[in-house]
């Protein structure tokens, strides 16, 4: 093939490849049903995360304000970043035995890497993940949370 015909065939194939590419973008342009973007702040009420989504660490409480945490501190030792602090107390039971109860279960969201080791290793399944994801606050002290609610106690049959 001489250079003259090659020049024009190159131009032809070049234009053809451009038109093929533009046909793809054109197809999406004229079919608005395929739009996948979300209008985020507007759809906040309808937006639902998956049930296993790791948003925020919580300690589930039942209707009597009771949780399952024994204050053993396994989550604290397993946490790689020191984002969990368990402060526990010892109380004397009526029968003379001493029992450890939880005073404060402190969770630093700012240090958490969401590795889920605390939830996995907890022997009494006291911790779980919440589906909230809007964590932005104006003051970083708000990122330190106390997970057990005030006045809460442990469910009776948990050892």
Partner 1 sequence: MKEIINLPVQSIEEEEYHINMGPQHPSTHGVLRLVVTLQGEIVKKLQPHCGYIHRGIEKMCEKDTYQQIIHLTDRMDYLSAHINNHAVCLLVEGALEVEVPERVKYIRTILDELNRIASHQLWWSSFGMDLGGLTCFFYGLRDREHILDIFEESFGSRLLHSYYTPGGLMRDVHPNFQKRVKDFLKYNRKKIKDYDRILSGNVIFLERSKGVGVLSKELAINYGVTGPSGRGSGWACDIRKKHPYAMYDKVEFREVLRHEGDTYSRYMVRIDEMRESMNIIEQLIDNIPEGDFSAKMKPIIRLPEGEYYQCVESARGELGIYCISDGNKNPVRMKFRTPSFVNLGVLDKISREMKIADLVAIGASLDLVIPDIDR
Q: Footprint of partner 1 on this chain (CB under 8 A)?
A: 13-15, 17-18, 20-21, 23-25, 36, 49-50, 52-54, 78, 80, 113-117, 120-121, 129
Query: 34 Cβ partners below 8 Å, 6+ apart?
Result: 28
The distance from CA 16 to its chain's CA centroid, rounded to whole angstroms, is: 47
The CB-of-15 to partner 1 minimum distance in angstroms stands at 8
The CB-of-85 to partner 1 minimum distance in angstroms stands at 17
Rounded CA-CA distance 71/147 in Å is 12
Please identify, using beta-carbon distances, which residue of 1 and 36 lies nearer to partner 1. 36
Rounded CA-CA distance 38/16 in Å is 34
The answer to whether 129 and 58 are in contact (CB under 8 A) is yes
The CB-of-150 to partner 1 minimum distance in angstroms stands at 28
Please identify, using beta-carbon distances, which residue of 85 and 101 lies nearer to partner 1. 85
């Amino acid at each position: 093939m001489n250079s003259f015909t090659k020049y024009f065939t190159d131009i032809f194939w070049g234009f053809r490849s451009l038109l093929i590419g533009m046909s793809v973008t054109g197809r999406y342009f004229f079919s608005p049903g395929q739009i996948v973007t979300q209008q985020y702040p507007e759809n906040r009420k309808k937006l639902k995360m998956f049930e296993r989504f790791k948003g925020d660490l919580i300690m589930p409480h039942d209707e009597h304000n009771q949780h399952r945490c024994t204050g053993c501190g396994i989550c604290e030792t397993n946490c790689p970043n020191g984002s969990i602090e368990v402060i526990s107390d010892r109380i004397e039971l009526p029968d003379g035995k001493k029992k450890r109860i939880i005073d404060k279960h402190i969770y630093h969201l700012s240090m958490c890497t969401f590795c889920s080791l605390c939830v996995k290793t907890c022997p009494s399944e006291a911790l779980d993940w919440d589906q909230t994801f809007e964590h932005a606050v104006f003051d970083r002290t708000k990122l330190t949370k106390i997970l057990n609610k005030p006045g809460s106690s442990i469910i009776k049959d948990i050892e």
